[in-house]
């Protein structure tokens, strides 16, 4: 035997485990737990590791990385009980000073609804009668569990409207349609889409309808601009956004299924009344609405860590122009044309163009007479 002179095999098992990353419910729908077992003592017989795992996970497979391993597993079938995976290591003898590494794959199903923290334990056992005192036979780890989501915001309706400011006494209106599309790719999710729409510049309303609404959204509040002197700001950048205008914040709660699409329409008439106070007679203003996503960060994490997909803006160009006086232009054009004609005629007379032409015409009819 390899158990020393006393002929008693005293093993010294140590177990540990970790997770590859975190629990990604809903993406891979698989999570891997890597288990490390060492025998730092003498030969160990019938050595095995018991892993307990929460309700909602199903045992899929075990993959050996080092040593031999064979597992059986029973999933939990109700919330308060645990699943148990039992893995035998290098059966029948887990030799002295050897180690084994294996990966257990559990899958999460879409319906599984964990608590935020999920607990796992691994316990090593053997058939040996004695174990050294410094054996590390049990370990418990808790893992945060979040649902991966992938939601994108896409804008529709970058458009252009035109206002003729010479006719602006009438307070013109032009229809505008700004649309945000929300696309949910990975899993069901509850979230809120926040939409900010400029509604007031200075004392004047931007939209003809003072009570601007977005279907499926509620009005949260009207936010004051951060830049009080909008006239100065708009001289530099003709962007009518929430820094210069009062913006209405809309909250749109959405319960989106996987692959759901949802559209949010800002569809109303822009009135021209606010333009005069800018002092600009000819400009292209950008009327900027924005949308962003809000979700429970304790429950969900964004699949793609890029923040860009969380935010989108729509610019509607509001072109302002002054009508030129058409009659004056026609008269001006006619006089100019006549002047040019006179100049050309004078020039041609000077070089004798008309004389030579005249001679040519006079000479022609004589030819057939001969
Ligand atoms: Ca011994």
Tell me the CA–centroid distance for residue 11 and ligand 1, in Å. Answer: 8
Tell me the CA–centroid distance for residue 43 and ligand 1, in Å. Answer: 9
Rg over alpha carbons for the chain, rounded to the nearest Å, is 40
Tell me the CA–centroid distance for residue 84 and ligand 1, in Å. Answer: 32
What CATH homologous superfamily does 10-148 map to? ntegrin, alpha v. Chain A, domain 3 (2.60.40.1510)
Residue spans of beta strands (DSSP E) within 30-187: 30-39, 44-45, 48-53, 57-66, 69-74, 83-89, 93-94, 98-108, 117-125, 130-131, 138-149, 151-156, 160-164, 173-184
Tell me the CA–centroid distance for residue 123 and ligand 1, in Å. Answer: 23
Tell me the CA–centroid distance for residue 42 and ligand 1, in Å. Answer: 6
Same fold, 10-148 and 151-321: yes
Tell me the CA–centroid distance for residue 1 and ligand 1, in Å. Answer: 9
Tell me the CA–centroid distance for residue 41 and ligand 1, in Å. Answer: 9
What is the C-alpha separation between 217 and 211, in angstroms, rounded? 13
Asked if 275 and 319 touch (Cβ cutoff 8 Å), the reply is no
Q: Which fold would CATH assign to domain 151-321?
A: Immunoglobulin-like (2.60.40)
Q: Which residues of 195-228 are buried (b: 16+ CB within 10 A; e: fewer)?
A: bbbbbbbeebbbbbeeebebeebeeeeeeebeee
Tell me the CA–centroid distance for residue 2 and ligand 1, in Å. Answer: 8
Q: How many helices (H) and strands (E) does the chain have?
A: 4, 26
Every domain of the chain and the residues it spans: 10-148, 151-321
Beta strands 44-45; 98-108: pairing state = unpaired
Asked if 152 and 312 touch (Cβ cutoff 8 Å), the reply is no
Tell me the CA–centroid distance for residue 10 and ligand 1, in Å. Answer: 5
**How far apart, in Å, are the Cα atoms of 331 and each of 92, 326, 334?**
109, 9, 5
Tell me the CA–centroid distance for residue 316 and ligand 1, in Å. Answer: 83
Tell me the CA–centroid distance for residue 342 and ligand 1, in Å. Answer: 125
Tell me the CA–centroid distance for residue 99 and ligand 1, in Å. Answer: 19
Tell me the CA–centroid distance for residue 64 and ligand 1, in Å. Answer: 29
Q: Which residue has the tokens 């602006």?
A: 168
Crossing angle of helices 326-351 and 353-363, in 10° steps, is 70
Tell me the CA–centroid distance for residue 15 and ligand 1, in Å. Answer: 21
Q: Is the overall model pTM greater than 0.75, yes or no?
A: no
Q: How far is CA 69 from the centre of its chain?
A: 43
Tell me the CA–centroid distance for residue 47 and ligand 1, in Å. Answer: 17
Tell me the CA–centroid distance for residue 17 and ligand 1, in Å. Answer: 28
Q: Which SS3 state, helix, strand or coil, does residue 333 take?
A: helix
- Pick from 61-65, 107-111, 363-367: least confident: 363-367
Tell me the CA–centroid distance for residue 130 and ligand 1, in Å. Answer: 9
**Residue pLDDT, tens place only, 187-221:** 889 999 999 999 999 999 999 998 999 999 999 99
Tell me the CA–centroid distance for residue 151 and ligand 1, in Å. Answer: 61
Q: Is the pLDDT of residue 367 over 50?
A: no
- Determine phi and psi for 334, rounding to 5 degrees: -65, -45
Tell me the CA–centroid distance for residue 96 and ligand 1, in Å. Answer: 11
Tell me the CA–centroid distance for residue 133 and ligand 1, in Å. Answer: 14
**Residue pLDDT, tens place only, 280-291:** 888 999 999 999
Tell me the CA–centroid distance for residue 112 and ligand 1, in Å. Answer: 48
The predicted structure's pLDDT at residue 250: 98
The predicted structure's pLDDT at residue 231: 94
**Residue pLDDT, tens place only, 3-39:** 889 989 999 999 999 986 556 554 446 788 999 999 9
Q: How confident is the model at residue 370 (pLDDT cuts 50, 70, 90)?
A: very low
């Amino acid at each position: 035997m390899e158990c020393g002179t006393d002929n008693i095999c005293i093993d010294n098992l140590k177990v540990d485990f970790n997770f590859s990353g975190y629990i990604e419910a809903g993406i891979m729908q698989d999570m891997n737990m890597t288990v490390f077992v060492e025998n730092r003592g003498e030969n160990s017989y019938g050595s095995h590791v018991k892993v307990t795992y929460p309700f909602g996970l199903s045992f899929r497979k075990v993959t050996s990385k080092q040593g031999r391993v064979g597992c059986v597993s029973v999933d939990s079938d109700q919330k308060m009980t645990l699943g148990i995976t039992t893995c035998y290591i290098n059966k029948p003898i887990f030799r002295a000073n050897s180690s084994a590494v294996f990966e257990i794959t559990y899958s999460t199903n879409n319906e599984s609804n964990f608590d935020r923290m999920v607990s796992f334990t691994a316990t090593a056992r053997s058939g040996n009668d004695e174990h050294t005192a410094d054996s590390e036979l049990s370990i418990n780890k808790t893992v945060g569990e979040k649902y991966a989501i992938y939601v994108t915001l896409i804008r529709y309706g970058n458009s252009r409207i035109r206002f003729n400011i010479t006719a602006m006494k009438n307070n013109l209106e032009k229809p505008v349609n700004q649309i945000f599309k929300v696309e949910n790719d990975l899993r069901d999710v509850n979230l809120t889409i926040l939409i900010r729409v400029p509604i007031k510049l200075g004392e004047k309303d931007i939209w003809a309808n003072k009570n601007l609404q977005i279907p499926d959204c509620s009005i949260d509040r009207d936010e004051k601009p951060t830049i009080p002197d909008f006239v100065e700001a708009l001289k530099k950048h003709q962007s009518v956004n929430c820094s210069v205008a009062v913006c209405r914040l809309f909250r749109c709660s959405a319960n989106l299924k996987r692959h759901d699409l949802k559209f949010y329409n800002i569809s109303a008439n822009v009135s021209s009344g606010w333009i005069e106070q800018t002092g600009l007679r000819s400009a292209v203003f950008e009327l900027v609405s924005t949308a962003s996503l809000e979700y429970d960060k304790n429950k969900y994490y964004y699949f793609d860590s890029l923040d860009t997909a969380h935010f989108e803006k729509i610019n509607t160009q509001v072109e302002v122009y002054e009508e030129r006086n058409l009659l004056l232009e026609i008269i001006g054009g006619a006089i100019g044309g006549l002047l040019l004609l006179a100049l050309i005629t004078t020039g041609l007379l000077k070089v004798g163009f008309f004389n030579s032409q005249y001679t040519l015409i006079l000479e022609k009819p004589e030819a057939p007479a001969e």
